[in-house]
Structure 1
Amino acid sequence: MATIYQVSELAGVSLATVSRVINNTVPVREATRLKVEAAMQELGYRPNSVAQSLASNRSNSIGIVVSELGGPFYGELLSRIENEFRAAGKHVIIAAGHSNADLERDSIEFLRSRNCDALILHVEAVHDAYLVELAESGLPFVLINRMVAGIEERCITLDNEQGGYLATEYMLQQGHRDIAYISGPLWKHDAQERYNGHQKALAKFAVCENKALFYEGDFQETGGVNGFNHLREQGHAFTALVCGNDEMASGAITAAHEAGLDIPEQVAVIGFDNINFSHYTHPKLTTIDYPVAEIGQMAARWVLKRVYQRPIEDLQALFIPQLIVRDST
């Protein structure tokens, strides 16, 4: 196995110069860098990552905690984050918190034990106080899809309440007044905020909310199926259905088809997230766009700027949702 000493001899430079090239800690003349890289390639030399970490005080790895590893939402988020870091020569380590406070804390502590240079957190169950304490400990991290008082500069999120408002406002503008709603679990910040937006739109149009037309789902397709069937069993007719995310909207459309109902002629349906399959439901799903890939990219850039001092401008903390009109309304 080739050593750094052999690289130094073949390139005709000092050990310190080879180290600078490997660790990218101090600028080196381009001609010198090319000689060292050519020698490394000829000898088949591979830098020791542990030694690099000791030399630079960096592991060049970033930990990510998300609620789940499956599904189109998290797949798109993780893919964009990983792409951004890979282009910068960094690597990611991913853990799942499963919307459970203990598991989220365990995942965070595991990633800290791996000497990650920073963390990107999409956590839902841990208390705000824990996150504030984490920030005060000096751990570099950025929080996705959640705003926490006291650490606002670490938060990158969507205006979920405005998105919930836009969804219901659109149904009201189309003339609907009997509007059903399937929410995500209301203990989750984004689900509650979207439902708040729904209620805000009803109030603006002076429409009283019918509690019999509300169902608390689980952000899964099965929640949409169960929610739609539950709402029909209440005996209150509705002409429009607002869902807290696209997966539940997809499940609701499936249940409507199975009940022999026409979408949108008999029931108009709108979702939230604009995940990739919303283009392929039948009919194509009207939804609220959640730019999850762009938010993931912004979180990665936050780390590159704040932790690795990359010259990145215009970090965006708040994203504004947009209405996407398709065929389900």
Structure 2
Amino acid sequence: MATIKDVAKQAGVSIATASRVINNAPHTSQAAVVAVKEAMEKLGYRPNANARALVSKSSNTIGVLVNDVSAPFFGTMVKAIDTIASEQEKQLLIGSGYHNATKERNAINLLINSRCESLVIHSKGMSDSELCDLANEIPGMVLINRVVPGMASRCIALDNKKGSYIATEHLIRNGHKHIGYICSSHNIEDAIDRREGYLDALRDHGIEIREEYIEYGEPDETGGEQAIVNLLAKNIPLTAVATYNDYMAAGSMALLQENGLRIPDDMSVIGFDDGHIARYIYPRLTTIRYPIQAMANEAVKLSLQLVHDENAAQNERKLFMPILIKRSSVSCLR
């Protein structure tokens, strides 16, 4: 028996588009309508009751896609969205995409088929063009932590490059010239931008860029620990390390201290995100604040507005600026 996936494949459209055609939903092109109906007839497809639970009907549910729901960063994001949802007497449905295009796509389709009109999407795996196609189909879809040119007015993002620049420049202004960088091994925009911010700060201050000063790892404590091990093994004269996030910073700090290095006297460390861990490791971590709560508030409010007014988005994306949070893990070299 043919399924809606078979129909979408035969018609050359997404599952979301096929669903909207089957249920006579608005915002669907005439070409898609014709293609899907022809595919249904050819395959002998008959929609069942579950296939009719679609975004075309009103719903009190907001869909949220995160990377990993167990990560504290995304817990903060979801909590902020849920606060607004509760005020609007709405519920959340949450999916995890794990920075994988197929998993993100499947999770979004599930949210759509669960009648979520408002969608707040944190996607790093799907292409710009596919996200733009989805945004055209789903008026209430907003991207967070990513800028897609074709839908920039519905993107809520942070200037990651600027944040990493500020972090590295803070180390430079404290007299450090031999500065390592611990980077995420994930091939995503955040990792690329933060690495470039580090490099730009070195260039602007006339400090030689050395590839051996950069190490990569999983963006967690274990990845940070392994990366600092690799840097120390090179026997290079580092006095400071900038990191992709606070968890990599925490892992590197633990390893340094276990090996008798004092922070910040022997090695200065700076993080990125200003998550809860930054306040409770010792010494307390100097870092870059990622205003994810404010960004999530902005994203869900915009999503709810777009459901009722497709012109609610501004002409330009909403770009948040990172802020340096000074604590105790950076020393000033005399």
- Asked whether the two chains share a fold, i.e. TM above 0.5, the reply is yes
Alignment of 1:249-328 (within 5 A): 249-308=249-308, 317-328=318-329
Gap regions ≥5 residues in structure 1: 1-52
Deviation at 1:134, TM superposition (A): 1.2
After superposition, the C-alpha distances for 1:207-265 in whole angstroms (9 at most, x for unaligned) are 11111110112211111100000100112120000001001001010011111100000
Deviations 1:78-134 (A, max 9, x none): 101011111111111001001111101110111111111121101111111111121
Structure with higher Rg: it is 1
Checking the alignment, whether the CA contact within 8 Å between 2:118 and 2:303 is kept in structure 1 is: yes
1:1-329 matches, cutoff 5 A: 57-308=57-308, 317-329=318-330
2:207 aligned counterpart, secondary structure: coil
Partner of 1:8: none
Runs of 4+ in 1 over 6 A off after TM superposition: 312-316
Q: Is the 8 A contact 2:181 2:241 kept in 1?
A: yes
Q: Is the 8 Å Cα contact of residues 284 and 328 (structure 1) preserved in structure 2?
A: yes
Report if the CA contact (8 A) 1:298-1:316 is conserved: no
Partner secondary structure for residue 307 of structure 1 = helix
CA distance in 2, matches of 1:110, 1:186: 25
Q: Secondary structure at the match of 2:64?
A: strand
For residues 173-213 of structure 1, the C-alpha deviation after alignment (integer angstroms, 9 at most, x for no partner) is: 01100000001135111111111111110000111111111
Cα distance per residue 1:112-159 (max 9 Å; x no partner)? 111111211011111111111212334531001000111101100001
Distance 1:177 1:186 in 2: 27
Partner amino acid, structure 2, of 1:176: H
CA RMSD after TM alignment: 2.1
Cα 1:127–1:316 shift into 2, 3 Å:
closer
Contact 2:302 2:313 in 1 (8 A): no
User: What amino acid is aligned across from residue 322 of structure 1 in structure 2?
Assistant: I
Match of residue 29 from structure 1? none
Instruction: Read off the aligned partner of 1:280 and give its amino acid letter.
Output: Y
Please give the alpha-carbon distance, in whole angstroms, between the structure 1 residues aligned to 2:308 and 2:78. 20
Offset of residue 292 of structure 1: 0.7
Q: Which residue number in structure 1 is paired with residue 19 of structure 2?
A: none
CA distance in 1: counterparts of 2:181 and 2:292, whole angstroms = 23
Aligned partners of 1:287, 1:97: CA distance in 2, in Å? 27
* Count of aligned residue pairs for this structure pair: 276
TM-score normalised to the size of structure 2? 0.79
Preserved CA contact (<8 Å) 2:202 2:208: yes
Give secondary structure in 1 for the equivalent of 2:142: strand
Distance in 2 (CA, whole Å) between partners of 1:288 and 1:306 is: 31
The 1:250/1:229 distance shift into structure 2, 3 A limit, reads: same
What is the DSSP-based 3-state SS (H/G/I as helix, E as strand, rest coil) of the residue aligned with 2:288?
strand
| TM-score between the two structures when normalised by the length of structure 1 | 0.80
